[in-house]
Amino acid sequence: MDTTSHTDLNTTTRTRRTRPSARGLRARCVAESGQAMVEFVLVLPLLLLIMFGIAQFALALNSANDQTHVANLVARYATVDENPATGGKTLQAWGKEQLDQSALKGAAKVCISFPSGEEIGAPVLVEVTSTIKWFPILKLKHVTETSVTGKAYMRLEAPPTSTVFKAGCE
């Protein structure tokens, strides 16, 4: 505290000289009023990328589970030589209709094959394949795409007839 005394008409008074304190000046120079907003803007894109990545991964797992389930359904009908479809649709087309996600219905491929022949007891292989686009907004081909396949193996209980279904893909 810097004080000086003045004599004025035989009266001594002390006055305080005002000088900016170092603490007040430093506080004004390092004000943090916009710091939180700047940090939020810097971190937000990373948080959104992580959040959308988790959501896309969950959708991909759901698609893989759905494809395995549909492959199991189609394989079961193929083993007993039945086609639940109406209107002359193939078993493969019926399998595509059973997929949950609308994105998979058009792009999915359902394949039925007989790896060891078509006699009773031989395996039936059904594969449901589609492509997952991880970040469709980026429009990058082959970088953000992954092929997902659901498979089911079952043994034939009845020999397949050409009137119900044929081996192949649709």
| pLDDT at 65 (0 to 100) | 92
Each residue's pLDDT tens digit, 105-116 = 668 899 999 998
Q: What is the DSSP string of the chain?
A: --EEEEEETTEEEEEEPP---HHHHHHHHT--TTHHHHHHHHHHHHHHHHHHHHHHHHHHHHHHHHHHHHHHHHHHHHHTT-----TT--HHHHHHHT-SSHHHHHH-EEEEE-TT-SSTT-EEEEEEEEEEES-GGG--TTTSEEEEEEEEEEE-SS---TTT--SEE-
Each residue's pLDDT tens digit, 88-145 = 888 888 998 888 866 566 688 999 999 988 889 999 999 999 888 777 777 776 677 8
Each residue's pLDDT tens digit, 43-85 = 999 999 899 889 888 988 988 899 999 999 999 999 998 989 8
The pTM score is 0.70
